[in-house]
Amino acid sequence: MSDTKTKRAKIVRDFTDAGTETQFTAGATVEMTEGAFANYQACGLVEPAADEPAAPAAPAGRKAS
């Protein structure tokens, strides 16, 4: 059996997951799988909890010379 990595997430706004029907309340901090976190973060629904390190910033594009 493999270990599922989890991540603490701060809920940015109220939403219900359409697949699982799990309800989330804005301002709450919850534990979720890294995969669920990535999906919700891509939709702007969660952010790393205060005790989680923030994701690294995307590299800046090259400047024209």
The number of folded domains in the chain is: 1
| Residues whose CB falls within 8 Å of the CB of residue 8, separated by 6 or more in sequence, listed in order | 29, 30, 31, 48, 49, 51, 52
Helix, strand, or coil (residue 12): coil
Is there a domain that residue 23 lies in? Answer: yes
Q: Name the phi and psi angles at 40, rounded to 5.
A: -65, -40
Distance, in Å, from the CA atom of 25 to the CA atom of 34, rounded to the nearest integer, reads: 19
Per-residue pLDDT tens for 19-46? 999 999 999 999 999 999 999 999 999 9
Is there a domain that residue 62 lies in? Answer: no
pLDDT at position 4, please?
A: 85
Q: Which domain holds residue 23?
A: 6-48
CA atoms within 13 A on the CB side of 24: 23
Per-residue pLDDT tens for 41-51? 999 999 999 87
Helices (H), 2-63: 34-42
Provide the whole-model pTM: 0.72
Is there a domain that residue 12 lies in? Answer: yes
